[in-house]
Amino acid sequence: MSDLHLRTAVELASLMATGEVSGVEVTDAFLDRLARLNPSVAAFCHVAGASARRGARAFDRQRARGHAPASPLAGVPLGIKDLYPVRAMPLRAGSRALAWMRSPVDGPNVRRLREAGVVVLGKLATAEFGAMPFTDPDIGPSVRNPWDLARTAGGSSGGSAAAVAARLLPLGHASDGGGSIRIPAALCGLFGFKPSRGALHHASPLERLCLSTEGPIARSVGDARALLRVLATDDRFDRPVDLPRGLRVRLLLHAEEPGVERTPAQSVAAVRTVAALLEAAGCVVEDIGAPPLGAGEFLPLWQRTFAGLPLPGFMHARLQPVTRALREAGRAISHAQARALRDALCERLTRWWGETDLLVTPAVASAAPRVGVGRGADAAAVLAQAVPLAVFTAPFNVTGQPAMSVPVALPQGAGRDASTAAPPPSAPCGVQVVARVGEDARLLAVARVLEHALGGFDHDPPGWD
């Protein structure tokens, strides 16, 4: 079939389960597309074609014997974000400090994915150690946004988003510690879902504050749910639920953060569009003020996270300036102090949340920066570019609430304001929706309602065949 790259991950798994197409054919189709198009976006930092084909052949033998995994992703090609170990593949975390590193084993969630029948094509590019919301690693080229190759695909899961937007993969494996799923999903016109803290198996033992979780970047709710089911700690993603009427929905349109400009008019229009659709679905909608958490209060948590990385001095010297600055500042903060700060901020945000059921915000407060910003020598300037991208997302890593970015494609020119920065041409705007802790199934129900009302989340950048 010549259109395999246009199929969803769930559709591909179904085609392979019925024998209409083989695992080798699917893997070859994506490897061929990768060879042709990855140089334009640099989504993959390592391609493992030979081992992927071996995995696909092994899957086909299993299926022929009737022993294929009973999984929604059986036989589906996937890349793994390069913060996570994959057997016999590089583990560089986007950093020159680990340029020599290869992993002898699969990480725990990679093992779960393989047990589910996933075929691993290689490693997806990340910002250095996942620190920044743009992907400009020193070990390779910057990841470019398929909607506008002069701009970043976001980060830190920039490779995951660029790969899905360019249809190099049907589904993206990603992670999110301050917005690293939702930000690149928003900038690349995709659906990204950050589950509740503890909803998925935690595969980052060095991230002791538990700000981060893995999750999907996808073109459909069904594909995202398939990845969540494979990695979940319980059955919350197994049974779809309906969206109840009368939910209390609050809108937050603008950040109250020094140095962050008012949200572009097009993004405001996208938020209003989502609010109107939820109102039509029976929700009660009202506006709310910004959460009581500034970038300066989140920053110590982020600094402590990177100070905790066990890197000797010679490796520290090879880090990018912004990562070095985070580590150096974080050394003055103990883990106990950071944990106490996280808990205090979480309590404050929970009081602010009150009786809200859903919060709707822009996913980002600015357009995608130009590629290369993450390599800047002035760490403070790099951080200043990061804040508008993470200002709406980071609070919900503190609380551990489930949150998603949904792509809203407005009519051409709708909400345009020539005086403010706009997203890349024709790119859908990312709108964040947040639910209460543990209500991941309800948030997926919201996603399905919006997916249907918006005509789908499957948008293609111009010029990608």
Residue 359, both tokens: 């919060």
Count CB neighbours of 238 within 10 A: 11
430 φ/ψ angles, rounded to the nearest 5 degrees: -85, 130
DSSP 303-361: HHHHHTS---HHHHTTS-HHHHHHHHHHTTS-HHHHHHHHHHHHHHHHHHHTT-SEEEE
Residue 50, both tokens: 């030979």
Residue 57, both tokens: 């052949």
Nearest in space to 390 (alpha carbons), one of 340, 353, 432, 450? 432
d(CA 142, CA 136): 4
Q: Is 81 a catalytic residue?
A: yes
Catalytic residue among 71, 95, 156, 204: 156
Q: Is 156 a catalytic residue?
A: yes
Catalytic residue among 22, 81, 175, 267: 81
**CB-neighbour burial class of residue 312 (10 A; exposed 0-12, middle 13-18, buried 19+):** exposed
Nearest in space to 23 (alpha carbons), one of 62, 97, 75? 75
Sheet holding 191-194, edge to edge: 172-176, 213-218, 191-194, 403-408, 429-435, 358-362, 248-251, 284-287
d(CA 227, CA 320): 32
d(CA 437, CA 150): 37
Q: Is 267 left (phi over 0), alpha (psi -120 to 50) or beta?
A: alpha
Catalytic residue among 157, 180, 212, 220: 180
Instruction: List residues with catalytic annotation.
Output: 81, 156, 180
